[in-house]
Amino acid sequence: MPKAFLIVELTVKDPVVYENYRSQVLPSLESVGARFLVRGGKRLQLEGVDEGHHNMLRTIVVEFPSMDIATAWYQSPAYAALKKLRMSCSEGRAFIVEGF
């Protein structure tokens, strides 16, 4: 079964609230066997236009055991409150893609 990767690009609007989100999201991911591969960090734009690139832009990549597990986690009641918290302090885009 192929793994799945949650890819998120977001701009943090309130770093204090976002830090609260960050401190809570890891246990929810670990509970389903997911792990961070990228959690912020330096970013080098190589191709295309990235008009939103600035200090508060974050790129996150999370590896899940499968697409079903990733989707179930994202849609779970357990993550709903955390998602609401994240959306209150940031804006961006997120998607899940299958991979190896």
pLDDT at residue 48 above 90? no
- Dihedral (CA of 60, 62, 67, 70) sign: negative
Using a cut of 0.85, tell me whether the model's pTM lies above it. Answer: yes
User: What is the Cα–Cα distance from 100 to 5, expressed in whole angstroms?
Assistant: 9
Q: Is residue 87 part of a domain?
A: yes
Q: Is residue 86 part of a domain?
A: yes
Q: Is residue 48 part of a domain?
A: no
Q: Is residue 82 part of a domain?
A: yes
The b/e string for 63-72 (b: 16+ C-beta within 10 A; e otherwise) is bbeebebbee
Number of domains in the chain: 1
Q: Is residue 65 part of a domain?
A: no
User: What is the Cα–Cα distance from 30 to 42, expressed in whole angstroms?
Assistant: 24
Residue 84's domain spans which residues? 10-34+76-92
Closest CA to 15 of 58, 48, 50: 58
Q: Is residue 51 part of a domain?
A: no
pLDDT at residue 45 above 90? no
Q: Is residue 80 part of a domain?
A: yes
Q: Is residue 3 part of a domain?
A: no
